[in-house]
Chain A
Amino acid sequence: MGSPDVGAELILRPEGEIKLETSGVNLFYDGFQALREVSVAVPARRITALIGPSGCGKSSFLRCLNRMNDLIDGARVVGDVLLDGNSIYDRATDVAELRKRVGMVFQAPNPFPMSIYDNVAYGPRLHGTRGREKLDEIVESSLRGAALWDEVKDGLRKSALDLSGGQQQRLSIARVLAVEPEVLLMDEPCSALDPTATFRIEELMLELMERYTIVIVTHNMYQASRVSQYTGFFLLGELIEYGVTTQIFENPKDRRTDDYVRGRFG
């Protein structure tokens, strides 16, 4: 009857190199438990999508991956997150260095009120890069990496605030790329963009996948199915199912995943 396989392995462990791995991650905001025992392995140089209804914990989980939850008062993480096998919650971890290695792109484009050039050079300068030539090089390669160079190369001194929404989001990506990260966390990166700009970001993600490990949180299941190779479904703070994207959307094992991808929640 097509009912999900009872007792089937719901959390897949991807083959090949694992970039990030969480084990039994629980997240508490004061008295509220936002995540429960999330254990998952994120493969290197692949796109992993996290889906689920609002409030399911997917964005909270994303923020655990580069300790962004540290910035929230009352947030407490129990469990561990390993980056290349090393705990990011270890006392010895340099959090600034961690966030350089694991960069984040947010839902709304957030250009700084300065020039396009200075936006991109901001991170490298902060991390101590000096010298005009070196910065020029970083700015160009980051803007090229974010597929924005051709559109802005003749106006690098113009204000970033004059760019379109889609361009601003690509600028946000360029800014992350400028500090040479290994992992890109993307929290609903296209939710403020029109379909054309969304398409450009999706194309860009597929290009970036060759060099970076990408984890994207999206409300848009079709986006998850278009761009990702692995998908995790969250519900009420739990990772219900994690597997190859085609399997999650064609033949999910858990009834709750099936209900969600078929639009039966609500």
Chain B
Amino acid sequence: MRRTRQAFDEQLEELERRLVEMGRFVESMLERAVRALVEQDVGLARRVIADDDTADEMDLDIEQHCMRLLALQQPMSRDLRTIGTVMKVIADVERIGDYSVDIARTAIKLADEEYSKPLEDIPRMAEIVRQMLRQALEALVAHDLDQVTKVVERDDAVDRLWYKILEDVERLMQERSEVVPQAAALLLVARYLERVADHTVNIAERVAYMETGRLETLAPSHGTDYQPEGEAGKDRDREERE
């Protein structure tokens, strides 16, 4: 029994290792997508879009690994919670990859335009969100509830930035109608980042469940009431609510 238990422990560790690998990969997609937007680098944006296939493969691979462990090991207690958590978390991470692709597409769309004002808030927001993702996954591996709390706290900063960008863009649109298409595109990027932050909070909540066995919403304000009109955001928001 000891040997089979040891093998199972190793498989669980392998599962966490693969999840962290996927998380780092997607974190890099996000970082590069925002850099491509700021630096108007089409080549970099295209590579991010191409990387989405790899992220999807990682997602499927980890899910299969989880299913295999569920079927063959019939896990209980913490082991069950770990596998259930990983299955939920990969969906969040995969979705963050999708948002990175959306941002990269916006970067390509705006690559030849001069920005009406330098991009400052979006990179700042992206940096916070990227750290949240990293912290959420570190919390998972290190079984660290303090990190979970930090992720949840940081979500407020992201929400504040989102509302600031929203107000700035609305003002800009009213003042200069010629920048409306560009401003709308950038507003969506900010919205994607805000959603990414919500996914990192989802991950943090799952880590808390894995550790405590209690499934609860840690950030009641999590998500915003604002619903963007049209484009990808609308469909995706609907999808996520379901």
Give the B-binding residues of A (Cβ under 8 A). Answer: 1-2, 221-222, 225, 249-252, 258, 261-266
Contact B2 A258 (CB under 8 A): no
Are A251 and B81 closer than 8 Å at their CB atoms?
A: yes
Write the chain A residue with the least CB distance to B212.
Answer: A2
Residue of B nearest to A261 (CB): B76
Could you pull out 30 A-B pairs where Cβ atoms are within 8 angstroms?
A1-B143, A1-B145, A1-B211, A2-B78, A2-B213, A221-B76, A222-B74, A225-B76, A249-B77, A250-B76, A250-B77, A250-B81, A251-B77, A251-B212, A251-B213, A251-B214, A252-B77, A261-B76, A261-B77, A262-B5, A262-B75, A263-B1, A263-B4, A263-B5, A263-B8, A263-B76, A264-B5, A265-B1, A266-B1, A266-B2
Chain B positions within 8 Å of A261 at CB level: 76-77
In the bound complex, what is the Cα–Cα distance between A263 and B79 (angstroms)?
10
List residues of B whose CB falls within 8 A of some A CB: 1-2, 4-5, 8, 74-81, 143, 145, 210-214
Question: What total count of A-B pairs have CB within 8 Å?
Answer: 46
Q: A249-B76, A262-B75 are known contacts; what are 13 more A-B pairs with Cβ within 8 Å?
A: A1-B145, A1-B211, A2-B78, A222-B74, A249-B77, A250-B81, A250-B213, A251-B77, A258-B77, A262-B76, A265-B1, A266-B1, A266-B2
CB-defined contacts of B212 to chain A, threshold 8 Å: 2, 251
Query: A262 vs B77: C-alpha distance in the bound complex, in angstroms?
Result: 7
A222 smallest CB distance to B (angstroms): 6
Q: Is the interface of B mostly helix, strand, loop or mixed?
A: helix
* Bound: A1/B144 CA distance, A: 7
A258 to B76, CA, bound (A): 8
Residue of A nearest to B2 (CB): A266
Question: Top 8 A-B pairs ranked by shortest CB distance?
Answer: A251-B213, A266-B1, A261-B76, A2-B211, A249-B76, A261-B77, A262-B77, A258-B77
Closest residue of B by beta carbon distance from A252 = B77
Complex Cα spacing A235 to B73, Å: 23
Residue of B1, B80, B211 touching A249 (CB-CB under 8 A)? B80
Q: Which residues of A contact B214 (CB under 8 A)?
A: 251
Nearest-neighbor residue (CB-CB) of B84 within chain A:
A250
Report the separation of the CA atoms of residues A251 and B145 in the bound assembly, to the nearest whole angstrom. Answer: 17
Q: Tell which of A251, A261, A266 has the most Cβ of chain B within 10 Å.
A: A251
Contact A2 to B74, CB < 8 A, known contacts A263-B1, A265-B1, A266-B1: no
Q: When the two chains form their complex, are residues B5 and A258 in contact, meaning their CB atoms are under 8 A apart? A: no
Closest chain B residue, CB of each to CB of A2: B211
Whether the Cβ atoms of A258 and B78 lie closer than 8 Å is yes
* Cα-based distance from A251 to B79 in the complex (angstroms): 10
